Amino acid sequence: MVLELKSTKQEQPYITNLATCMTGLWSTTVVFSVALAITWRLCFAWLHLLKIILRGVTNDQVDPLVDVLKAIALPVLKQFGIDGESLELKILRRRMPPRGGGEVLFSCPERKVLKPVQLTDPGKIKRIRGMAYSVRVSPQMANRIVDSARSILNKFIPDIYIYTDHMKGANSSKSPGFGLSLVAETTNGTFLSAELSSNPQGQGAAVLPEDFSRNCAKLMLEEICRCGCVDSTNQSLVVLLMTLGQQDVSKALLGPLSPYKIEFL
């Protein structure tokens, strides 16, 4: 994992130490979400605009995909008052394991005070959006993934749109693969997600795109059935922001706790 961090001269020694520690802990094959999870827990401690460039893996089977973090974690930060034009998570290059080589830009404005939140009513699902991506495989892979996912989700809601992202040329991954990320939005502004990525090259059994996509759609339905106002991926982030906020009472309705959330507590 390679980091480039930009801030003020006063904060540069701390930035350098953070970059050195994180670079030593993770190799270039570790997914970005591990570093991002730590970064935006620290972003409100900086006094000025923070910009970070991460290089490594953008999509794998273990950690949340960068697409999902962009869709569900940024709205969570905005609910606590961390918003503005400078709040951005941009995928510059998409990369799959094992070779990595991806690049992501994250920027966050300074915030001295976090707003209290009242997240007690998840609302009803009003739309589902998604991203089917493919790298160094046939572009038809992404189209097959979209059709199979819609065959299940359209039975419950008509407002579904899944984009396709086929990377090729210099911006494509050094390793082949494909995947799907789904995000459901409710009438009260809650975002729920599900994602799956294909096995890395040379590992595990081959999976048909149709079976792969149906499994991801079922994970989306399972996440909706948890009836929480916070996505399982962001449970720990919300609890931490509530702890660091003002003394006013914040409330958040969580579904069944994820294993990572239990370890976080």
- Domain extents in the chain: 2-116+234-264, 125-225
pLDDT tens sequence across 98-111: 666 778 888 888 77
Question: Average pLDDT of 188-194?
Answer: 92
* Percent of the chain as helix, strand, coil, to the nearest 5: 35, 25, 40
Q: What confidence tier does 7 reach under pLDDT thresholds 50, 70, 90?
A: very low
What's residue 252's pLDDT?
93
Q: Looking at the predicted structure, is the pLDDT value of residue 16 above 70?
A: no
Residue 258 burial by Cβ neighbours in a 10 Å radius (0-12, 13-18, 19+) = middle
Beta strands 2-6 and 88-93: pairing type? Answer: unpaired
What's residue 22's pLDDT?
44
pLDDT tens sequence across 204-226: 777 888 999 999 999 999 999 99
Q: What confidence tier does 169 reach under pLDDT thresholds 50, 70, 90?
A: low
User: pLDDT averaged over the chain?
Assistant: 79
As a whole-number percent, the residues of the chain with pLDDT over 90 amount to 29
Whole-angstrom distance, CA of residue 155 vs CA of residue 125:
13
Q: What confidence tier does 265 reach under pLDDT thresholds 50, 70, 90?
A: confident
pLDDT tens sequence across 109-145: 877 788 899 999 999 999 999 999 888 888 888 999 9
pLDDT tens sequence across 224-239: 999 999 988 888 889 8
State in Å, rounded, how far the first CA of the chain is from the last one: 27
Question: Average pLDDT of 157-165?
Answer: 92
Q: Which amino acid is at 254?
A: L
What's residue 69's pLDDT?
84
Residue with tokens 């609890």: 239
What's residue 237's pLDDT?
86
> How many CB atoms neighbour CB 222 within 10 A?
13
Q: What confidence tier does 17 reach under pLDDT thresholds 50, 70, 90?
A: very low
Q: At the fourth CATH level, which superfamily is domain 125-225?
A: RNA 3'-terminal phosphate cyclase, insert domain (3.30.360.20)
Q: Looking at the predicted structure, is the pLDDT value of residue 33 above 80?
A: no
19/259: higher pLDDT: 259
